[in-house]
Chains A and B, each alone.
Chain A
Amino acid sequence: AQSVAQPEDQVNVAEGNPLTVKCTYSVSGNPYLFWYVQYPNRGLQFLLKYITGDNLVKGSYGFEAEFNKSQTSFHLKKPSALVSDSALYFCAVRDQGTGGFKTIFGAGTRLFVKA
């Protein structure tokens, strides 16, 4: 069965500093991996995804994520954090081995960027 772990409930970072939000996954086959962001009173918004190929994926708002197959990780990164990046971030995985479209989400990590 597929699963996702986000080991940190909250990440605190100062504006202008780099940020990392961690994600590890477990699947039977190869993964499709996604990051979504949730702002208060708004729906989840897609940030980026890993399909295949280059391990460094670039997405919206300057975010990027690094896929590491040996460590089964897909950490979200940004070189310079903004206060407006403060939100709830979810990592999600879809297992290619199942052939289905079921997507499993992690519990989420709250990012707090301090001015």
Chain B
Amino acid sequence: DTGVSQDPRHKITKRGQNVTFRCDPISEHNRLYWYRQTLGQGPEFLTYFQNEAQLEKSRLLSDRFSAERPKGSFSTLEIQRTEQGDSAMYLCASSPGQSMNTEAFFGQGTRLTVV
């Protein structure tokens, strides 16, 4: 069973640097989500894709954040000019089918620390 895979699991970067995270969803899952989770909080929605199309993006997502899913398979989340406030766990999830009621399958996340 290859669940949702995220790479790297941990990333420490200096303020001002760019970072990129990768998410490999469960095979054939057409929807892919990115969330951010800080300590003591629930996952905060960032964006989601239906196949390669980015259908919704949170207003909380500044212009420094960009996500892609070029071939409808894996996805990348890039943060440019990182700030200390970007320190968080970045979660990726995927789900199958066309129905709105399907649950999401989460990866273990990428923990970002900006120093």
Which residue numbers of A lie inside 8 Å of B, CB to CB? 4, 6, 32, 34, 36, 41-46, 49, 51, 90, 92, 94, 96, 99-108
Interface size on B, residues (CB 8 A): 27
Chain B positions 24-55 with a Cβ under 8 Å from a chain A Cβ: 31, 33, 35, 40-45, 48, 50, 55
Residue of A nearest to B57 (CB): A102
> Which residues of B come within 8 Å of A, CB atoms?
3-4, 31, 33, 35, 40-45, 48, 50, 55-56, 91, 93, 95, 100-101, 103-109
Not counting A43-B107, A46-B105, A100-B56, a sample of 9 additional A-B residue pairs whose C-beta atoms are within 8 angstroms of each other reads A41-B108, A44-B91, A44-B93, A45-B106, A51-B101, A90-B42, A100-B55, A102-B56, A108-B42
In this complex, what residue of B is CB-closest to A94?
B100
Closest residue of B by beta carbon distance from A47 = B103
Chain B residues closer than 8 Å to A103, beta-carbon distance: 33, 45, 104
Contact flag A32-B106 (CB < 8 Å), given A44-B43, A103-B33, A107-B42: no
What are 29 A-B interface contacts by the 8 Å CB criterion?
A: A32-B100, A32-B101, A41-B108, A43-B3, A43-B91, A43-B108, A43-B109, A44-B43, A44-B91, A45-B106, A49-B101, A90-B43, A92-B42, A94-B100, A94-B101, A96-B100, A100-B56, A101-B33, A101-B48, A101-B56, A102-B45, A102-B56, A103-B45, A103-B104, A105-B35, A105-B43, A105-B44, A105-B45, A107-B41
